[in-house]
Structure 1
């Protein structure tokens, strides 16, 4: 049984220094064309957005006004819609749609985290403070011999990237 090896399909490989220079020029041409096409696309998106924005804003205001009115009426008639006491429901069907009330789960909001941390620790409430232990990669790069041989740690060195930068003139805006 033959083993098939997948490789990247390469374009024609330049055969001389002159061919390589021509390929770099073509690469620059293609990159600039790509950017022009992307700019044209973004211009079109901007124009379409601007064209539709007034109508969308108007519709959003009308939606919010209707929702506010529906909510006000439903709040005033909640017992009629959902029952009361032990039989209090959370959803009411109104033929053209339904309304429902949902209790959000509890959440914690913290402003001034540094002050809150100091206060919690000062009051002996350290159980509410999370201490995060994580490997210090910078220290490992400074002392690679100390961590050599430890499973799960690999110091990667000597990786070389190949970069092609076609020349182009830079225009400065006024």
Structure 2
């Protein structure tokens, strides 16, 4: 005889309101807690902004000094590039305190005015540089769900959310 499988459902460990008034009171409490959390978050962001502002002010002269030194080293390195790179044989020059490195970035394509570029490519018979992308039109499927009922791999799903929305009013902007 096969062993019976028993599925246990965990007990709900929350307070469940027993009346409409109790549920309304809990919704009011949720609203108060949400506002308290918003105030805490705003206070935290105010403190973080003050700390960031203070440290940014301290960091600015250091950044300026670092950039000035970097610019000076770049001018010197370009003037001495042949010696430092052994006439272009290496791309790294070792100093006693660090390295100077020259690296080429990978090439990239920049398109300005994509519609005009596509038109020019078509006129010049360079269609091999135009990508045509096939993809399923989900919006059309949602408009006609009965047409795709028997198509394997397509399923239309719809869920439901439960949302508690406490009543809240917003302050008017400075009028």
Who is 2:154 aligned against?
153
Would you identify which runs of 4 or more consecutive aligned residues in structure 1 move more than 4 Å?
A: 1-10
Gaps spanning 5+ residues in structure 2: where?
A: none
TM-score between both structures, scaled by the size of structure 2: 0.88
The aligned runs of 1:42-57 (5 Å cut-off) are: 42-57=45-60
The CA RMSD over aligned residues, in Å, is 2.2
Query: Which runs of no fewer than 5 residues in structure 1 stay unpaired?
Result: none
- TM-score of the superposition, structure 1-length normalised? 0.88
Q: How many pairs align?
A: 171
Which of these residues, 72, 75, 79, is aligned with residue 76 of structure 1?
79
Deviation at 1:62, TM superposition (A): 1.2
| Secondary structure in 1 matching 2:100 | strand
Match status 1:62 vs 2:65: yes
Task: Please report how far the alpha carbon of residue 65 of structure 1 lies from its aligned counterpart in structure 2 after TM superposition.
Answer: 0.8
Alignment correspondent of 1:107: 108
**SS in structure 1 opposite 2:25?**
helix
SS in 2 for 1:99: strand
